[in-house]
């Protein structure tokens, strides 16, 4: 497998989850940057604009949706995949659809996440 050139930002408040997601995506060959802090995420987006951001629906005391909107203002071409700890909640999907954000349920199997990320990046 040849390495992918796409850059992914993982913005998740749980360090264990953040590290697991980073490992899954790095094994697939992606360049992955990860944080649980909005200020650091802003710096990362400015330094190396990601192709895709995976963001938790809640990042610490911040609403993940609002944080994603804010970060997309800094990097309009960035795609967003919201990680929601509930399966297929229509309220979340309705709120995120207006911005073109996608939703992916937690928990997930590594292969499911890798396949969804690949699908999103190939479709752009």
CATH number for the domain spanning 58: value is 3.40.50.2300
In a domain, 2, yes or no: no
The pLDDT mean for the chain works out to: 89
Residue 38 lies in a domain: yes
65-to-27, 68, 122 alpha-carbon distances in Å: 27, 5, 23
- Its domain, for residue 42, covers 7-123
Quick check: is 115 in a domain? Answer: yes
Average confidence (pLDDT) over 77-87? 85
Q: Is residue 68 part of a domain?
A: yes
**Tell me: the pLDDT tens digits for 93-103?**
666 667 788 88
Question: Tell me, what's the pLDDT at 117?
Answer: 97
User: Is 72 part of any domain?
Assistant: yes
Q: What is the pTM of this model?
A: 0.90
The proportion of the chain whose per-residue pLDDT surpasses 90, expressed as a percent, equals 68
Q: Into how many domains does the chain fold?
A: 1
- pLDDT for the residue numbered 107: 86
**Placement of tokens 């408040």 in the chain:** 13
For residue 1, is it within any domain?
no
C-alpha 4 chain-centroid distance? 16
pLDDT for 76 equals 95
Residue 124, CB half-sphere, CA atoms under 13 Å: how many? 15
Residue with tokens 């992918």: 4
**Which of the four pLDDT bands, split at 50, 70 and 90, describes residue 115?**
very high
Within-domain flag for 37? yes
Give domain status of residue 100, yes or no. yes
What is the rounded distance in angstroms from the CA atom of residue 4 to the CA atom of residue 13? 26
Tokens of 118: 């690949």
Summarize the chain as % helix, strand, coil (round to 5).
Answer: 45, 25, 30
> How do residues 25-79 score in pLDDT, each as one tens digit?
999 999 999 999 999 999 999 999 999 999 998 887 888 989 999 999 999 999 9
In this structure, what DSSP letter does residue 108 have? -
Is the pLDDT assigned to residue 2 strictly greater than 50?
no
- Asked if 65 contacts 24 with a C-beta cutoff of 8 angstroms, the reply is no
pLDDT in the model for residue 90? 66
């Amino acid at each position: 497998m040849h390495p992918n050139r796409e850059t992914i930002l993982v913005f998740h408040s749980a360090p264990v989850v953040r590290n697991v997601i980073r490992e899954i995506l790095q094994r697939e060959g992606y360049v992955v940057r990860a944080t649980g802090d909005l200020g650091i995420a802003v710096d990362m987006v400015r330094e190396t604009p990601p192709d895709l951001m995976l963001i938790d629906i809640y990042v610490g005391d911040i609403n993940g949706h609002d944080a994603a909107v804010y970060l997309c203002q800094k990097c309009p071409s960035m795609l967003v995949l919201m990680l929601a700890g509930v399966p297929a909640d229509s309220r979340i999907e309705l709120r995120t659809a207006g911005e073109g954000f996608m939703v992916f349920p937690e928990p997930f199997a590594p292969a499911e996440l890798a396949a969804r990320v690949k699908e999103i990046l190939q479709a752009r």
